[in-house]
Amino acid sequence: MRLTAVQNDRAAGVLLATAVGDALGAGYEFTHPTPETRIDMIGGGLGPFAPGEWTDDTSMALAIAEIAATGADIGRGAGLDAVATQFRHWYATDPKDIGNQTRSVLSAAGPSAASMQARARSLSGRKGGNGSLMRTAPVGLAHLDDAGKCLASAHEISSLTHDDDQASEACRIWSFGIRHAVLHGTFDGVRLALDHLPRAAAARWAALLDEAETAATARVFGNNGWVVHALQAAWWAITHARAGGPEHLQEALELAVRAGHDTDTVAAITGGLLGARWGASAVPARWRRMVHGWPGYRARDLVRLGLHTAWGGSDDGRGWPATPVVDYAGYRTDRRATHPHDAGVLLGGADLLRAPDVDAVVSLCRVGPAPHAGEHVEFWMADADHRRNQNLAFVIDDAARTVRALRAEGKMVAVHCVEGESRTPAVAARYAVLLGRDPHDVLQAMPWAAPQPALWVAATTGAGRLVG
């Protein structure tokens, strides 16, 4: 399905923010952080997990996304079987963490989806764990062109391990909400999904969502290993975070972790919808630099898989995100200058991606993986105004703060876009503002610079907001 620039940003944010929430919550699992507890990617928890490492929630979501990203129909037939197989592959790696219900199914089921669903049906006792909801985010992403298929796939994939009406309903609601958020940039899809449930279930979930929106504390939903409380805790976090812009993502994820108990899962569920609403560009680089996990993936892999899932397995017109090198032949990629206020920051065009004399590259345009051993931090920024950049001021500020953080680590940094003409001078100007210097000096240092007015304004105003 062909998406707009901001829809692509939001599609790219779904798996990324799932993983970020998961990794953020991982260190607090089965605890109840106090208001004084600082929430960060501390690692530890049940794995124990490394700081920034995601858990089974994201790993299982990626197992679904790996199949969806080939363009397969994950909701039935061979595609659903492939998802089941991918779950078994993951299980065979002896994961650090796995839900009881999921283990009971994956340890005994045959290779097909039907045998997995039959095994799930055969289990006795309580079957409404949160283990299918925690991985449902890619289902919304895989069916942007068809709401009906989204709902049907959410049910079938939930049923692979969870034979439970409420688990299925929760997956349908959340997947639909994620799909809607990518397409429309609102959280309204969560409520709209109820129109597609049986009447009694819709009334029950409407009351549960009301309860989440009005509860004074998420501790009311403390039994959040149960799918109903997990969804309510996630919805509580989203509807109680106050920030009106992209910072809402960070605030709501922190609230999700503060809900306590199954912190990684509630934050992973919350993250899937937040990423769909606010986009990859709203996920701060501080977290993107850290996040990683099975099967050896980092942030850029989550963006690639998210886009391939949304695009039915295709790349864009430049072969991105699959291509190792984006071809910018015909562009002035060889421009290069030194930041007027910091000799440790190079500024220029795409040739800087291959600069041998730097320790970190900050990319502001579409590129392949950096071909050197240094760190590579990418930012989602179109060379255009707000209409193609949902979070323009946030991204420019985040990129400049990342430059500052990398410099504080003693790294020689290169900042580049395609020609170094607009995005790079904007971020360089913001870095000047962070240093308390005159951003206009950047234009002297880069005489070819011609930043888009919207980028320049975003970079050079809002200094009153600057804290930390």
- Footprint on this chain of Mg ion (rule: CB under 5 A): 55-57, 264
Q: Least CB distance from residue 87 to Mg ion, whole Å?
A: 15
Position closest to Mg ion via CB: 55
Nearer to Mg ion, 24 or 68 (CB): 24
Alpha-carbon Rg for the chain, nearest whole angstrom, is 22
CA 69 – CA 64 distance, rounded (Å):
9
- Tell me the three-class secondary structure of 314-355, residue by residue: CCCCCCCCCCCCCCCCCCCCCCEEEECCEEEEEEECHHHHHC
Q: Least CB distance from residue 453 to Mg ion, whole Å?
A: 45
DSSP annotation of 54: -
Do 179 and 140 form a contact (C-beta atoms < 8 A)?
yes
Nearer to Mg ion, 47 or 349 (CB): 47
Do 276 and 6 form a contact (C-beta atoms < 8 A)?
no
Q: Least CB distance from residue 262 to Mg ion, whole Å?
A: 8
Other beta carbons within 10 angstroms of residue 176's beta carbon come to 27
Nearer to Mg ion, 257 or 458 (CB): 257
CA 350 – CA 333 distance, rounded (Å):
5
Runs of H (alpha helix) within 323-440? 392-408, 423-434
> What does each C-alpha distance from 267 to 37, 261, 346, 439 come to in angstroms?
16, 11, 37, 38
Nearer to Mg ion, 60 or 360 (CB): 60
Nearer to Mg ion, 174 or 328 (CB): 174
Q: Least CB distance from residue 135 to Mg ion, whole Å?
A: 10
DSSP annotation of 371: S
Q: Least CB distance from residue 292 to Mg ion, whole Å?
A: 15
Nearer to Mg ion, 156 or 264 (CB): 264
Q: Least CB distance from residue 55 to Mg ion, whole Å?
A: 3
Nearer to Mg ion, 266 or 393 (CB): 266
Extract long-range pairs of 117-122: CB within 8 Å, 24+ residues apart: 117/156, 117/159, 117/160, 117/163, 120/159, 120/160, 120/161, 120/162, 120/163, 121/163
Strand-pair category, 336-339 with 375-378? unpaired
Q: Least CB distance from residue 298 to Mg ion, whole Å?
A: 19
